[in-house]
């Protein structure tokens, strides 16, 4: 629960034993605080029903047992109901007053109940306490749902792992395994620690981290993460991070820490409560002592009205209206792999006027693929050119080489043995195959070997480069026999994501370090409103700041590594996917763990829904409190109605309205 300066609300906690009941057996030992509350609800409700039965059904037996106060059996039953239901809230409220010098709502409600007893309103005293406890019970259940969603994540983290030590396989607690040790994961098991596969291959279900339901194939050299599920295959993994430093634990910490971030609305509520509470408290005691502001009334009526104001003085519903809504929005986002560092960033996302995006790794997959193999004459076939080039490329670990080899493997081509291999950084590679000298590289390497270029070759290369492709030349015995065209593939959801962002009235802008021709081609294909090319990291920062000044709140999404300065300078910085995830968590305000661009329009839509719910909560809380205060002064509401509508009833409405966000799903973005 949220605390204010003057009035605090009980926080949900787990009791290991019942410190109030003592030796009396109640459900607190097995069910925590909720079990304890339920136990006293039963007792209090039983006593209230018994008192009512004695009053209206068995009135002949409802004798006076305390003559000088004319207290009957039914009255004593109702008093007992008040104290049985109110014992816990009195103890906790008094502790809050002594330890923190704060007026807890528990103490205010219990004081109002005692006051009602003193002026002879026994039924109202019992009902006030019982309604309060029931509402608190339901509210605690509702709020705990969000916490349970977070707690569910811990179920995916294995407590032990099979580690290889001294040549033997041993089962050891995960938190005792060191970086560099080797662990074994079998089919059907969850991976206990982050690491790199050194032996084996398997399909890995990463949905717990990314929200992506399709398993990802992983093999030697690829990274795997704690909490993910090994569907098939036996893996030997070299541990890269300790258990407490795993990506999985960072995600849990990220969601937990997000609850502590305050929004502008929360700051306003704290300031409002700072003045509201003491003013209503002073008004309550003024009414009790000096009479109504409008009428001259009997003493017990004045006290009764003062007690109503005492109950209304607590801004409980107002205090929980923002955090209940924001944490529901954050948990909803986390289910889709959108990790938000704080509620203030969720609030800022709702105000976005511009979404700026990096190109490589954000709009594109960030991986080169072979698009086309072009033989220059009919003498050479596509397979011949590709086979020669791949025979040479297989000896290199360059991204272009890996893309060519992967493409050739998919075609099932037979590769040849290479001798005298040499790599020229930033230019290409050279070697000998079947006695023929091969060169595969860019124009710089061709110039170094004085290989002649025809106008036709230059024209083809320029045409492909203008479309954002990378062209490499394949040469045999100092003559160009073909070209291989590669490009960074657009993410399949990129075009739809841009369209959905623009539907929400938000301007889209691309920032890239690529040349203008590439940027123009991508921007035109995706129908992006504006683009800036040939940018260095610090230049992106300058543009982000200008966009914020010109349009307002700006979101920037990048890959979290070279885009870190721009991410940190934006109003809302978003890091994409697993690439550079450690840097992303430190730098970005929001991390899209599943690397899905469609989560950006979903995030903006969810943030607007969340903010709308929070505003409704705040406006309803303030409006209803003021209306009830006026009605109390005029004598139009009872103590029971003050609790039912102005305190816990209102708090329940606010809480359940916030909990709707947990179930929110966008109809347009399904």
> Which positions are annotated as active-site residues?
358
Given a contact cutoff of 8 angstroms between Cβ atoms, the answer to whether 305 and 625 are in contact is no
Task: In whole angstroms, give the CA distance from residue 514 to residue 553.
Answer: 26
Contacts of 176 (CB under 8 A, 6+ apart): none
What is the rounded end-to-end Cα distance, in angstroms, of the chain?
33
Task: In whole angstroms, give the CA distance from residue 477 to residue 456.
Answer: 19
Distances (CA, A) of 588 to 65, 303, 451, 596, 643: 70, 55, 48, 16, 43
Max CA pair span of the chain: 121
**Considering only CA atoms, which of 387, 431, 392 is closest in space to residue 409?**
387
Contacts of 158 (CB under 8 A, 6+ apart): 174, 189, 190, 191, 192, 226
Would you say how long the chain is, in residues? Answer: 670
> What string of DSSP letters covers 231-272?
-SS-EEEEE-S-GGGSHHHHHHHHHHHHTTPPPHHHHHHHHH
Given a contact cutoff of 8 angstroms between Cβ atoms, the answer to whether 329 and 661 are in contact is yes
Buried b (16+ CB within 10 A) or exposed e, 599-633: bbbbbbbbbebbbebbebbbebbbebbeebbebbb
Return the structure tokens found at 86: 């109110």
Task: In whole angstroms, give the CA distance from residue 28 to residue 20.
Answer: 10
Place of tokens 């070279």: 562
Distance from the Cα of residue 18 to its chain's centroid: 35
Q: Other CB atoms closer than 10 Å to residue 551's CB: what's the count?
A: 14
Task: In whole angstroms, give the CA distance from residue 349 to residue 369.
Answer: 34
Place of tokens 């992983």: 218
- Beta-strand pair 554-558/572-576: parallel
């Amino acid at each position: 629960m949220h605390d204010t300066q003057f009035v605090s609300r009980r926080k949900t906690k787990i009791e290991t034993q019942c410190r109030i009941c003592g030796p009396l057996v109640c459900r607190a030992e097995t069910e925590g605080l909720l079990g304890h509350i339920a136990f006293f609800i039963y007792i209090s409700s039983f006593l209230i029903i018994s008192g009512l039965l004695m009053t209206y059904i068995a009135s002949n037996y409802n004798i006076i047992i305390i003559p000088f106060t004319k207290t009957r059996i039914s009255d004593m039953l109702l008093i007992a109901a008040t104290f049985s239901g109110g014992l816990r809230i009195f103890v906790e409220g008094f502790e809050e007053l002594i330890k923190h010098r704060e007026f807890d709502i528990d103490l205010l409600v219990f004081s109002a109940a005692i006051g009602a007893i003193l002026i002879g309103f026994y039924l109202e005293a019992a009902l006030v306490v019982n309604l309060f406890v029931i509402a608190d019970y339901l509210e605690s259940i509702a709020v705990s749902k969000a916490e349970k969603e977070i707690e569910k994540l811990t179920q995916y983290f294995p407590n032990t792992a099979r580690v290889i030590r001294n040549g033997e396989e041993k089962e050891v607690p995960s938190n005792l395994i060191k970086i560099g040790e080797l662990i074994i994961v079998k089919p059907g098991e969850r991976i206990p620690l982050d690491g790199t596969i050194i032996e084996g291959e398997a399909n890995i279900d990463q949905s717990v981290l990314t929200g992506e339901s399709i398993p990802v194939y992983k093999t030697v050299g690829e990274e795997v993460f704690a909490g993910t599920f090994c569907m098939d295959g036996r893996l030997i993994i070299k541990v890269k991070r300790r258990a407490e430093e795993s990506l999985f634990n960072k995600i849990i910490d990220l969601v937990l820490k997000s609850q502590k971030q305050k929004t502008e609305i929360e700051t306003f509520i704290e300031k409002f409560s700072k003045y509201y509470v003491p003013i209503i408290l002073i008004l309550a005691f003024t009414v009790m002592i000096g009479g109504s502001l409008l009428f001259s009334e009997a003493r017990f009526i004045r006290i009764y009205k003062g007690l109503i104001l005492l109950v209304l003085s607590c801004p409980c519903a107002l205090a929980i209206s923002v955090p209940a809504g924001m944490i529901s929005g954050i948990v909803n986002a986390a289910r889709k792999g959108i990790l938000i560092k704080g509620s203030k960033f969720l609030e800022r996302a709702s105000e976005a006027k511009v979404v700026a995006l990096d190109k490589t790794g954000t709009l594109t997959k960030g991986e080169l693929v072979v698009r086309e193999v072009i033989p220059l004459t009919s003498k050479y076939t596509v397979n011949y050119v590709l086979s020669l080039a791949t025979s040479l490329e297989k000896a290199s670990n360059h991204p272009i080489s890996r893309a060519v080899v992967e493409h050739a493997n998919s075609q099932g081509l037979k590769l040849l043995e290479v001798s005298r291999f040499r790599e020229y950084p930033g230019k290409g590679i050279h070697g000998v195959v079947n006695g023929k000298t091969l060169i595969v590289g860019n124009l710089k390497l061709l110039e170094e070997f004085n290989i002649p270029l025809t106008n036709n070759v230059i024209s083809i290369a320029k045409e492909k480069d203008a479309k954002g492709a990378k062209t490499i030349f394949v040469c045999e015995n100092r003559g160009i026999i073909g070209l291989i065209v590669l490009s960074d593939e657009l993410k399949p959801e990129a075009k739809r994501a841009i369209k959905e962002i623009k539907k929400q009235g938000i301007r889209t802008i691309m920032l890239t370090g690529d040349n203008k021709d590439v940027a123009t081609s991508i921007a035109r294909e995706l129908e992006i409103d504006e683009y800036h090319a040939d940018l260095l990291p610090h230049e992106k920062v300058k543009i982000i700041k200008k966009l914020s000044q010109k349009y307002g709140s700006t979101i920037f999404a990048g890959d979290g590594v070279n885009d870190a300065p721009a991410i940190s300078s934006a109003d809302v910085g978003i890091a994409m996917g697993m690439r550079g995830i450690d840097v992303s968590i430190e730098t970005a305000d929001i991390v899209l763990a599943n690397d899905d661009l469609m989560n950006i329009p979903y995030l903006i839509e969810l943030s607007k829904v969340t903010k709308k719910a929070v505003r409704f909560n705040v406006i309803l809380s303030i409006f209803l409190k003021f209306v009830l205060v006026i009605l109390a002064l005029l004598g139009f509401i009872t103590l029971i109605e003050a609790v039912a509508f102005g305190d816990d009833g209102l708090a329940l409405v606010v809480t359940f309205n916030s909990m709707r966000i947990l179930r929110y799903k966008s109809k347009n973005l399904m």
